[in-house]
Amino acid sequence: MRDKETGTWWQQITGKAIYGPMKGTALELISSDELTFGEWKSEISNGQVLAAVKKDAKEYDSNWEPEVAKLPVVISFPGTELKSRDVVVGLEVGGSARAYPWAALLKQSPIIDRVQSTPLLIAVASDGKSFRAFVSRVDGKDAEFFLQNGTKDWALLDTTTASQWNFQGCAISGPSAGKCLDRISALKDYWFNWRNYHPDTTIYKH
């Protein structure tokens, strides 16, 4: 990305300035979700959607991804089971990065894992597209979660208190009702891109 004020170039993923007057500085990252509109709307019924600016519509390609996917990837990382354009969910905890293959998440959700000393919960919503990551602790104790079957709405149960949790990471029934898990920032990306910005990343093994 390039800003108009100084002409500085910024990395899209990290927000770091890599060339120009602002080189060495970084934009402040904010927490964000990657959700389908349906999932977002179910959680925030009065939310607003950013409208397109009609006069700028011609400047944007409405279907650029298929063409970009045909372009060769010049970066390769031999020795891993992932292909360059495999999709992963990447996260970083305590300076350590880990990539979770999207295919594994779809098969195993929720995934319970640990990076450094932090227990993690990574879950995919019932739409098969939205995802979130949390610190898997309830009242300061490490906890495991599993998908509750036989219910109309998507829900998890924890092994510590047997409480029921929604996709927002909040307990909706049981002893922990009203409490919420701490959220972890996670990014859905191509493997080659995540690996490029996190050269020491590990890969989740299932």
Place of tokens 């599993």: 146
User: Would the pLDDT of 71 be above 80?
Assistant: no
CA distances from 64 to 50, 70, 88, 107 (A): 20, 11, 20, 29
The model's pTM is 0.85
At 80 the pLDDT is 73
Q: What ranges in 71-190 are assigned the alpha helix state H? A: 102-108
User: Would the pLDDT of 17 be above 70?
Assistant: yes
At 85 the pLDDT is 87
Percent of the chain with pLDDT over 90: 65
Task: Report the alpha-carbon distance of residue 104 to residue 18 in Å, rounded.
Answer: 34
* Confidence class for position 3, pLDDT limits 50, 70, 90: very high
User: Would the pLDDT of 77 be above 70?
Assistant: no
Q: What ranges in 45-148 are assigned the alpha helix state H? A: 65-69, 102-108
Contact 134, 183 (CB under 8 A): yes
Burial 113-147 (b: 16+ CB within 10 A, else e): bebeebbbbbbbbeeeebbbbbbbbbeeeebebee
Average pLDDT of the segment spanning 33-44: 92
Per-domain residue ranges for the chain? 86-206
Average pLDDT of the segment spanning 14-22: 93
* Confidence class for position 78, pLDDT limits 50, 70, 90: low
At 23 the pLDDT is 96
* Confidence class for position 31, pLDDT limits 50, 70, 90: confident
Q: Place domain 86-206 in its CATH homologous superfamily.
A: Rieske [2Fe-2S] iron-sulphur domain (2.102.10.10)
Contact 163, 150 (CB under 8 A): no
Contact 112, 145 (CB under 8 A): yes
User: Would the pLDDT of 177 be above 80?
Assistant: yes
At 169 the pLDDT is 95
Which two structure tokens, joined as six digits, stand for 62?
């409405």
Contact 131, 143 (CB under 8 A): no
List the Cα angle 89/198/183 in 5-degree steps.
45
User: Would the pLDDT of 37 be above 90?
Assistant: yes
Of 89, 91, 94, the closest CA to residue 125 belongs to: 89
